[in-house]
Amino acid sequence: MTHILHRTIHTKMPVAVGGKGIELIDAEGKTYIDASGGAAVSCLGHGHPEVLAVLHEQLDRLAYAHTSFFTTEVTEKLADRLVADAPEGLNHVYFLTGGSEAVEAALKMARQYFVEKGEPQRRHIIARRQSYHGNTLGALATGGNEWRRAQFRPLLVETHHIDPCFAYRFQETGESDEAYAARAADQLEQKILELGPDQVMAFVAETVVGATAGAVPAVADYFKRIRAICDKYGVLLILDEVMCGMGRTGTLHACEQEGVVPDLMTIAKGLGGGYQPIGAVLLHDRIFDAFAQGSGFFHHGHTYTGHPMAAAAGLAVQEVIHRHNLLSNVVDMGDYFESRLIERFGNHHNVGDIRGRGLFRALEFVGDRTSKAPFEPALKLNARVKKEAMARGLMVYPMGGTVDGRAGDHVLLAPPFIVNKQDVDAIVDRLGEAVDAAI
């Protein structure tokens, strides 16, 4: 009998007791390859000795100091590192304990920015259907997944949604990438005009859509056009890189590959690699300056903001990534992973799309590859694949997609940045067996 309200009440979970490298170990001694990094979190795998050493040292030195009394060396160092590696202009950092908190803070920063600038009427948030920005109320209101929002709608602020840029589902036959990018991005302009340009506060998007759609990058130039539309109407661009950021796609920030710099960027998961709960918002100078020249503070704060242990984990993870040149491994192993997935599933009747970037990949399941009709019964195949994968010692992250009921289920794959070819082969082999067993 458990006293924990688990995610699913009637499913008995294995008990994780250890982790080493790319594997987790349960109480029965069974090992699981962590091919999803949990939910794209464990970018260095488990029990990384260099991270553990830093954490032990920080614990001995200082575990906690409240940010209304002190700053700490370790949080300052992590902020320096993040800014040194950030796109130009993102020169300020606000620390949190996870992704939802980061999104909440970014929304409040956007709002406060316009209050400071004397435009308090700007309040509308535009985001995209088929997105996930977290489960706290502001983040949930922003996300476009109706299944998650439905019963909480009375508690949510009003938000507005446009279609995602999702070529597999929405690009029309014969339509060029350029034309599709323009068509998809122009929905933002239409929505801004509909709501009144001086009433809109921010557009929020995942640079590469994570759990809800399954590792979906936008087509080339979509984000450039989005940036231009935001600039035209003075709307802030918030990129949510909680899942796709911190190296997962092969560059530290996914937006580097899009050639755009947001006004605010949220990061979390891979920032601390699961060694501690940590998230952050990177702020552009123009946001920080508005606060600095205005009220002089950000009207927000949590007890564990800037937690030294969390910062130590973030710093250690970032240093390991640099020291071992792991971003180039993400690119190389990402390419290898893609080629192995195509080899194994490229002709699979029930795999409609194989997509993603770096070590951020997904398989979308369909009932029929030509019509792209979802696998029936919808929302079940991914769960069966997860179950069969777990039985074979493999962790994959399942999710059901629901763009107007058109998207099928998918599994997300986000293995640690330390994988080698043999690891990738083992992942693809076990996944192949799991998919075949599940269908």
Contact residues: ligand PLP, CB under 6 A: 39, 98-100, 103, 132-134, 206, 210-211, 240, 242-243, 268
In the complex, least distance from residue 212 CB atom to ligand PLP, rounded to whole angstroms: 8
Go through the chain and tell me how many residues it has.
439
In the complex, least distance from residue 166 CB atom to ligand PLP, rounded to whole angstroms: 15
In the complex, least distance from residue 180 CB atom to ligand PLP, rounded to whole angstroms: 23
Distance CA 158, CA 180 (A): 28
Q: Residue 37: left (phi > 0), alpha (psi -120 to 50), or beta?
A: left
Burial environment of residue 21 by CB neighbours within 10 A (0 to 12, 13 to 18, 19 or more): middle
Q: Which is nearer to ligand PLP, 242 or 341 (CB)?
A: 242
Q: Which is nearer to ligand PLP, 269 or 340 (CB)?
A: 269
Q: Which residues of 57-69 are buried (b: 16+ CB within 10 A; e: fewer)?
A: ebeeeeeeeebee
Q: Locate 222 and state its tokens.
A: 């979509």
Q: Residue 401: left (phi > 0), alpha (psi -120 to 50), or beta?
A: beta
Distance CA 176, CA 325 (A): 36
In the complex, least distance from residue 297 CB atom to ligand PLP, rounded to whole angstroms: 24
In the complex, least distance from residue 429 CB atom to ligand PLP, rounded to whole angstroms: 27
Output DSSP code: residue 254: G
Q: Locate 51 and state its tokens.
A: 């991270």
Q: Which is nearer to ligand PLP, 254 or 435 (CB)?
A: 254
Q: Which is nearer to ligand PLP, 31 or 135 (CB)?
A: 135
Q: Which is nearer to ligand PLP, 272 or 374 (CB)?
A: 272
Q: Respond yes or no on whether the N-terminal peptide bond of residue 377 is cis (omega within 30° of 0).
A: yes
What dihedral do alpha carbons 110, 210, 321, 430 form, nearest 10°? Answer: 170
Q: Which is nearer to ligand PLP, 211 or 226 (CB)?
A: 211
In the complex, least distance from residue 242 CB atom to ligand PLP, rounded to whole angstroms: 3
